[in-house]
Amino acid sequence: MKIICRKSDLVKAVSIALRAVAVRSISSIQECILITAAHGYITLTSNNLEMCIETKVEGEIEVEGKIALDAKMLSDIVRKLPEEEVTIRTDDHMVATILCGKAVFNISGKDGEDFSGLPVLEKEDRIEISQLTLKDVISKTIFSIAQTDSNRILTGELFEINGSGMKVVALDSHRVAIQRVELKESYGHKKVIIPGKTLNEMTKILSGEADDIIGMYCLPNHVIFEMEGTTVVSALIEGEYIDIDRMLSRDYETKVKINRQVMLGCIDRATLFVREGDKKPIIMDIQDGFMKLNIDSVLGSMDEDIDIEKEGRDIMIGFNPKFMVDALRAISDEDVSLYFLNPKAPCFIRNDKESYTYIILPVNFVR
């Protein structure tokens, strides 16, 4: 094999392929990136058996072939190459020579025939969505997935498409994040649970441009994302997701409208008195015209009043401050509305259109 390409193109492709490279795998070839030169394309492939990525590099193919190279070594080398053309060639002993300017590297590789590439799947019902929208809905929900595998379903996010509406849901045992978006076209009903690990890596691959479109295929056991030059295939999480609609109560006894940035800044200041791992709640004492926020820990205490618009009863309720901060940071509205039923019931943060809903369970406290 012999290929020639620009360093910048190679660096970009390697950084994308790294997202699906296995770490400390039983099979060392899964810690490699496969370079294939065939049929006029230079392709980089990675596969950790849960997610597979294939991405193309613009360049010239002088001799077709393939080789699997250690991903970390390849990444470290290409990032530090001078800004010149890069040539990669292989010999009959599975050694790759990388030449750039006056730099020459030799890396021992593995036979590309032993590498498990992109699975062959029958793609049906392509769903199109802008990369900006997909990246946005993931970033505004992903923090609510469960961090342990005690319930594997909760380590992923529910993507449900019905007509032109797409709903994305993430939840753990303490909070729920829901985003709803309108798609440009109408599609048949699809319902899949995508692993959080896959979605985290997708946010690093997506361009975030509104004009860049990504094609999404929801298959029985896999999801496929197709964007310009790159394909991502991920296994889905099997099982039935929690019926979130049963949790979406619209009953409330207290409604608070508050400036989002003011509330976020106040809670952020309060977390100065919370050590890592502490379970100290921030207490909200909601009365007519103001909300008093208080936190009290072994490090100190803080009290601060915030002006609010209130409907309904006074209420005193406590929450994990981090959960409140995560939700408020995910919202872009200037003002937010909080709905409370009683001190033991969840707080709902939602807008009138319900394009977003955040549900946070309260924390018991003693005054």
Residues 150 and 216 in one domain: yes
**97 in any annotated domain:** yes
Structure tokens at 180: 């709803």
Strand-pair partners of 259: 335
- 269 vs 265: CA distance, rounded Å: 6
- Helix, strand, or coil (residue 247): helix
Point out the domain boundary residue: 223, 240, 257.
Answer: 240
To the nearest 10°, report the CA torsion of 180, 184, 185, 191: -20
Convert the pLDDT of each residue in 325-345 to its tens digit.
999 999 999 999 999 999 999
pLDDT at 367: 63
pLDDT, mean over the chain: 94
**Main-chain phi, psi angles of 166, to 5 degrees:** -125, 130
pLDDT category at 351 given cuts 50, 70, 90 is very high
pLDDT at 24: 79
* 154: pLDDT strictly greater than 70: yes
Convert the pLDDT of each residue in 173-228 to its tens digit.
899 999 999 999 999 999 999 999 999 999 999 988 888 999 999 999 999 999 99
Residues 135 and 207 in one domain: yes
**296 in any annotated domain:** yes
Point out the domain boundary residue: 114, 147, 164.
Answer: 114
Residues 296 and 205 in one domain: no
**260 in any annotated domain:** yes
Residues 131 and 225 in one domain: yes
Convert the pLDDT of each residue in 261-303 to its tens digit.
999 999 999 888 887 777 789 999 999 999 999 998 888 889 9
Convert the pLDDT of each residue in 11-68 to its tens digit.
999 999 999 999 877 778 999 999 999 999 999 999 998 999 999 999 999 999 999 9
pLDDT at 221: 95
pLDDT at 364: 86
Point out the domain boundary residue: 218, 240, 262.
Answer: 240
**348 in any annotated domain:** yes
Range of the domain at 356: 248-360
- Enumerate the H helices of the chain as residue ranges: 7-17, 71-79, 131-139, 196-205, 260-270, 321-330
**365 in any annotated domain:** no
pLDDT at 171: 96
**205 in any annotated domain:** yes
Number of domains in the chain: 3
pLDDT at 104: 96
Cβ atoms of residues 267 and 325 within 8 Å: yes
CATH number at residue 138: 3.10.150.10
**192 in any annotated domain:** yes
Residues 6 and 106 in one domain: yes
Residues 221 and 309 in one domain: no
Cβ atoms of residues 327 and 270 within 8 Å: no
Convert the pLDDT of each residue in 101-146 to its tens digit.
999 999 999 999 999 888 889 998 999 999 999 999 999 999 999 9
Residues 354 and 301 in one domain: yes
**119 in any annotated domain:** no
- 194 vs 200: CA distance, rounded Å: 11
Residues 229 and 253 in one domain: no
